[in-house]
Amino acid sequence: ERLARIDTVVFDKTGTLTSGEMRLIDQEDLAPEALAAAAALGAYSKHPHSQALTQFAPIDGARLSVTDVREEAGFGVEGQIDGRLYRLGRTDWSVFVQQDAPTTGTVLSCEGRILAVFRFEEQLRSGAVAAIDDLRASDVGIQILSGDSASAVAAVASSLSIADHASSLLPGEKVRRLEALAEQGHKVMMVGDGL
């Protein structure tokens, strides 16, 4: 009965509209030491970017030792490697030493300084186009709310012709946007694990 009244469907992006399987691009431009540190930290997180980086652990299996690991939802994972603080995640969380910092991508920092910027690509999920087309034909509003970068979200939104999308959102910000839609009288369904 509640589904019959839905007038807006909000999608998370990764693993919902896309396969969730990330592929690191431009890896040949990255230092092996940075890839090894990112792989070691990434092993402590279930985020798709972290999981994609774990494949870059040294071939001999001797992963760097990480201690004092802590993951902060929506921001990234941090830990001590050789007595120094490393962070893998959002730029605004990872970087705390004044320097030019990218506004998109996942970064690896050491003691607050950027060591590497990682960029990923992903494929649309099988059936995503048909599902969006079916919703559009049913006169349902469609939005994407994602924690990913603006360029990644825009690429998926463009490929699915979804005009209403937002990026770089923390889980709490997604909740507030859903609450705002409900306050406007919309009957909203959220699809995905981004909350």
The predicted pLDDT at position 178 comes to 94
Q: Kindly give, in sequence order, each residue whose CB lies less than 8 Å from that of residue 49, ignoring residues fewer than 6 positions away.
A: 22, 42, 106, 118, 120
| Residue numbers annotated as active site | 12
Q: Give the C-alpha distances (Å, rounded to integers) separating 103 from 8, 42, 54, 79.
A: 30, 21, 23, 23
| Cα–Cα distance measured from residue 130 to residue 152, given in angstroms and rounded to the nearest whole number | 21
pLDDT tens over the chain, length 195 residues: 888 899 999 999 888 899 878 888 888 889 999 999 999 999 999 888 898 998 877 765 567 899 999 999 889 999 999 999 999 998 888 888 777 766 667 899 999 999 999 988 888 999 999 999 999 999 999 999 998 888 889 989 999 999 999 998 888 899 999 999 999 999 999 998 765
